[in-house]
């Protein structure tokens, strides 16, 4: 069954590939991104050439998000799936990032997700059905030094996703977290770098480690054994096309770096917690008669 899907951050990387893959599978896709008349003009034109509808949407702006979601609802009459893909990377000595930089990172990776959810969920609740796919990271479960700020934002996405899944389950809305491993996308090329270089210099030889870690990743991405980022798009298509109520809470894609082990342990803890709270029923999505 064809579904109407909105994807954030669709100008490149996972977002663009997912938009093209979902459209190829027969779904109506609204690819959203910032500045479609300027910096993202070419990606927008390329997507339109593939009969994918493009909407301007900046996840850091309440007005832009609300307008973008309203535009999709006006054009399509409904929205079935929200894919929260927009994200910003970050790598370096944690102390050398300013508070403003951390605020900007969370504005995209965390607050941006809250904005799109607030804009889309009223439609899902009216329909009595819908699917939210949040793009997290294995770094939302395990911690890499020098990627702590990025990981912190993805840890936040873990908590947000769980809470929304419980709160929306009895309204017929599914919420799934996708946890990609390391893939060759533009995240590292566009990643946030520390502004306070003097602080980083105070770490001596340690300050060189983040750059070396990124170099090793780049070498892997250029090798014959490089992971294929298309894995993520394919995983999202499978999630979208699964029946409501049958989807896993989390889907690991690629090398989990131990995130899969922590997922299993956390699931057991959460099950006991929800039972202890007398809220075990919130762990399963209600299958309403309208979408059973």
CATH code where residue 122 lies:
3.40.50.720
Alpha helical stretches, state H, the chain: 13-24, 41-49, 62-76, 99-106, 112-127, 148-168, 197-201, 209-222, 230-241, 259-276
Determine the Cα angle at 226 with ends 90 and 236, to 5°.
Answer: 70
Q: Which sign, positive or negative, has the C-alpha torsion 133, 137, 142, 145?
A: negative
Predicted TM-score (pTM) of the model is 0.94
Say if CB 250 and CB 140 are below 8 A apart.
no
Catalytic residues: 150
Q: What is the pLDDT of residue 291?
A: 41
Tell me the C-alpha distance between 95 and 73, whole Å: 43
Phi first, then psi, for residue 76 (nearest 5°) are: -100, -20
Tell me the C-alpha distance between 240 and 251, whole Å: 12
Tell me which residue range forms the domain holding 104: 4-291
Q: 50 Cβ partners below 8 Å, 6+ apart? A: 20, 23
pLDDT tens-place values along the chain, 292 residues long? 899 999 999 999 999 999 999 999 999 999 999 999 999 999 999 999 999 999 999 999 999 999 999 999 999 999 999 999 999 999 999 999 999 999 999 999 999 999 999 999 999 999 999 999 999 999 999 999 999 999 999 999 999 999 999 999 999 999 999 999 988 877 777 789 999 999 999 999 999 999 899 888 888 888 888 889 999 999 999 999 999 989 999 999 999 999 999 999 999 999 999 999 999 999 999 875 544 3
Q: What is the pLDDT of residue 290?
A: 42
- CA–CA distances in Å: residue 186 to residues 78, 89, 134, 143: 32, 9, 19, 21
Tell me the C-alpha distance between 209 and 125, whole Å: 47
Do β-strands 81-84 and 4-7 pair in parallel, antiparallel, or remain unpaired?
Answer: parallel
Tell me the C-alpha distance between 215 and 275, whole Å: 46
Count of structural domains, the chain: 1
Q: 8 Cβ partners below 8 Å, 6+ apart? A: 15, 32, 33, 57, 59, 83, 84, 85, 86, 112, 116
Q: What is the pLDDT of residue 288?
A: 54
Residue (of 124, 31, 13) closest to 78 by Cα position = 124
């Amino acid at each position: 069954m064809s579904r109407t899907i909105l994807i954030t951050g669709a100008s490149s990387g996972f977002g663009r590939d997912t938009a093209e893959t979902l459209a190829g599978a027969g779904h109506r896709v609204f690819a959203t991104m910032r500045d479609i008349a300027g910096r993202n003009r070419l990606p927008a034109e390329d997507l339109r050439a593939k009969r994918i509808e493009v909407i301007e949407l900046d996840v850091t702006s309440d007005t832009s998000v609300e307008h973008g979601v309203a535009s999709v609802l006006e054009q399509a009459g409904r929205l079935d799936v929200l894919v929260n893909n927009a994200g910003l990377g970050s790598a370096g000595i944690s102390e050398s990032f300013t508070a403003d930089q951390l605020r900007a990172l969370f504005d995209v990776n965390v607050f941006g997700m809250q904005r799109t959810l607030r804009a889309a969920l009223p439609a899902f609740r009216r329909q009595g059905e819908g699917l939210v796919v949040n793009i997290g990271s294995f770094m939302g479960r395990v911690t890499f030094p020098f990627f702590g700020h990025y990981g912190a934002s993805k840890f936040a996405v873990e908590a947000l996703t769980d809470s929304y899944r419980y709160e929306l389950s009895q309204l017929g809305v599914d919420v799934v977290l996708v946890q990609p491993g390391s893939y060759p996308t533009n995240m590292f090329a566009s990643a946030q770098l520390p502004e306070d270089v003097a602080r980083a210099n105070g770490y001596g030889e340690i300050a060189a480690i983040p750059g070396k870690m990124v170099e090793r990743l780049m070498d892997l991405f250029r090798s014959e054994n490089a992971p294929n980022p298309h894995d993520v798009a394919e995983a999202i298509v499978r999630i979208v096309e699964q029946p409501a109520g049958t989807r896993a809470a989390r889907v690991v894609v690629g090398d989990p770096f131990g995130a899969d082990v922590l997922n299993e342990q956390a699931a057991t803890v959460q099950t006991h917690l929800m039972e202890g709270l007398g809220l075990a029923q919130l762990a399963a999505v209600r299958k309403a008669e309208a979408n059973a």
